[in-house]
Chain A
């Protein structure tokens, strides 16, 4: 086998299409928003840019979940926790950026702390006035939690539904903790009223477009990282563990180390997704930890097609577009629709959208390649 350049080895057909679409979005959406007049039918309004940015941050969360669920069989029902932690790290930076411009005008303390009569900044808020530190925490906090959680869970060989349940318990426990005012993270109101990011006003049109481009870029990079992992031998071992864990163990693989690497990298990706989500929606509160959010992310991956990466991202965008439309048109129906969607996909599209399309394509190819053989056989007779 000849060695191809890394980028080519990483891109199969659907990967190339995926990155092509992302590149087109990164160029066309900003151009249309900034240059076309608002009356033009091709103009993308600023609210839509942020909405799409939100979907794409969800897509990055779905990608992260697919890495552990699709390739290693770890059904995490708590990935929303890593997303929310990344979001809180970004939220803390944005709060510190407000400075003395809060309602109470305190030079350092965020409004909610002044309201609670706090006298000084809790220790864990220090450093968040610096963007590089906050960016590091976006990766480090979810990564560390996943590492510690995974270390104990995988070493104790907790698998399958038990693992799913404890991941769910983890995000639920965090939600309860973040609801408390004494956590010093804004209690049930969370963090909001952001003003600036890196010195630019968060609400400004140009900032929103820049955040959108940053999200598209992060999604593309996340895809390349995940794709590199799953195409390397590491990815083959992950799939081997998914298919026959004890076989992998008896071949001498340290299954817990392999799972830990995937779980930690995935949690960091989810953290980045959360950090990009927060400035675009303008708020982070404890409901982001709610178990239902994590389960919804699992539905996105299932709908798009697990174990395909591209499918996970597609599923997130498709389901959330449907959600935005349906919660506008018939809000009381959304949860039923989500449940029905999950059942339909499980029963009729177990490989999801992308998996099913790939199957059709393979079948077509098989019949096309079979035909010349028939012709040749006919000619020989």
Chain B
């Protein structure tokens, strides 16, 4: 890969491997995401999807391989907080919000800006304009739930709140892990709509099992299997791919 190609990516993984107790979770995984691109990652359980996210967000260090953000920043040298501050947001598979805070406070804590304890005690963190919170809440359609405790939201609403928190971070790249798991059909459709709207201004990686949902996103698809890329292309192309069918249907 030439330098020009590298600097044209928002995220670039090359030959990434990681082993847990002899189990090879990622095996020479290579992947490049262009700025503004939306990418769906699919694959059976144990294909390495979550491990890939852990590597990108600094939770896990790779045994070998390169991970670059924006073409020049080596993510393998940084920890979670540094990577988050650089502009990579992550949504967990299980909706993870701050349950004893209100919806508005969840967004307030997520909004981009100073994050030091000093700032939170005495400084700018205490003077977040309410309009910034309102703007995010209207994007994820939770305005009317503003003052409710996050614990009291429905499962789908928690997922949206978490996506809202990601947006509030104003990241360059969003990693979204199974956003529609456990959602009703109506909620799934709305989530697809929401993610497409977000993808207009951000790079997004969506990990998902639900093929109908991936089809609805209408973006390029990467299929992972046993820790490396099995196929890449449009949803129609990969679902016609012999090897993909074999892996998914276990023929």
State the CA gap A243–B162 with chains docked (Å). Answer: 14
- Of the candidates A1, A244, A249, which one forms a contact with B80 in the assembled complex, judged by CB atoms under 8 Å apart? A249
Proximity bits, A249-272, B CB within 8 Å = 1, else 0: 111111101100100000000000
The verdict on B97 contacting chain A, using a C-beta distance below 8 Å, is yes
| Residue contact A236 to B101, C-beta cutoff 8 Å | yes
Which residue in chain B gives the minimum CB-CB distance to A245? B96
The verdict on B184 contacting chain A, using a C-beta distance below 8 Å, is no
State the CA gap A1–B134 with chains docked (Å). Answer: 13
The verdict on B126 contacting chain A, using a C-beta distance below 8 Å, is yes
| Residue contact B165 to A233, C-beta cutoff 8 Å | no
User: Among the interface residues B90, B117, B128, B130, which one has the most CB atoms of the partner chain A within 10 A?
Assistant: B117
| Residue contact A251 to B101, C-beta cutoff 8 Å | no
The verdict on B81 contacting chain A, using a C-beta distance below 8 Å, is yes
Number of A-B contacts (CB under 8 A): 82
The verdict on A240 contacting chain B, using a C-beta distance below 8 Å, is yes
Point out the residues of chain A lying under 8 angstroms from B128, CB to CB. 233
Interface residues in A, total, Cβ within 8 A: 24
Proximity bits, B98-141, A CB within 8 Å = 1, else 0: 11110001001110000111001110011010100000000000
Point out the residues of chain A lying under 8 angstroms from B108, CB to CB. 233, 236
| Residue contact B117 to A261, C-beta cutoff 8 Å | yes
| Residue contact A247 to B80, C-beta cutoff 8 Å | no
The verdict on B57 contacting chain A, using a C-beta distance below 8 Å, is yes
State the CA gap A239–B105 with chains docked (Å). Answer: 11
| Residue contact B85 to A247, C-beta cutoff 8 Å | no
- Of the candidates A1, A233, A249, which one forms a contact with B120 in the assembled complex, judged by CB atoms under 8 Å apart? A233
Q: Interface SS of chain A: helix, strand, loop or mixed?
A: helix
Which residue in chain A gives the minimum CB-CB distance to B87? A252
Point out the residues of chain B lying under 8 angstroms from A253, CB to CB. 81, 109, 115
Interface residues in B, total, Cβ within 8 A: 31
Point out the residues of chain B lying under 8 angstroms from A108, CB to CB. none
Given A234-B117, A257-B116, verify A244-B81 contact (CB < 8 Å). Answer: no
State the CA gap A129–B194 with chains docked (Å). Answer: 69
Within residues 1 to 58 of chain A, which ones have a CB less than 8 A from any CB in chain B? 1
The verdict on A246 contacting chain B, using a C-beta distance below 8 Å, is yes
State the CA gap A236–B120 with chains docked (Å). Answer: 9
Point out the residues of chain A lying under 8 angstroms from B120, CB to CB. 232-234, 236-237, 258
State the CA gap A261–B122 with chains docked (Å). Answer: 13
| Residue contact A252 to B101, C-beta cutoff 8 Å | no
Which residue in chain A gives the minimum CB-CB distance to B175? A250
The verdict on A229 contacting chain B, using a C-beta distance below 8 Å, is yes
| Residue contact A250 to B121, C-beta cutoff 8 Å | no
Proximity bits, B54-82, A CB within 8 Å = 1, else 0: 00010100000000000000000000110
Point out the residues of chain A lying under 8 angstroms from B89, CB to CB. 250
Nearest-CB distance from B172 to chain A (Å)? Answer: 13
| Residue contact A244 to B57, C-beta cutoff 8 Å | no
Point out the residues of chain A lying under 8 angstroms from B80, CB to CB. 246, 249-250
| Residue contact B169 to A233, C-beta cutoff 8 Å | no
Point out the residues of chain A lying under 8 angstroms from B126, CB to CB. 232-233
Within residues 143 to 188 of chain A, which ones have a CB less than 8 A from any CB in chain B? none
| Residue contact B109 to A236, C-beta cutoff 8 Å | yes
Point out the residues of chain B lying under 8 angstroms from A261, CB to CB. 117, 121
Q: Which residues of B contact A (CB under 8 A)?
A: 57, 59, 80-81, 84-85, 89-90, 92, 96-101, 105, 108-110, 115-117, 120-122, 125-126, 128, 130, 165, 169
Across the A-B interface, the 9 shortest Cβ-Cβ residue pairs:
A252-B84, A234-B120, A233-B125, A233-B120, A234-B121, A240-B98, A252-B85, A249-B80, A247-B96
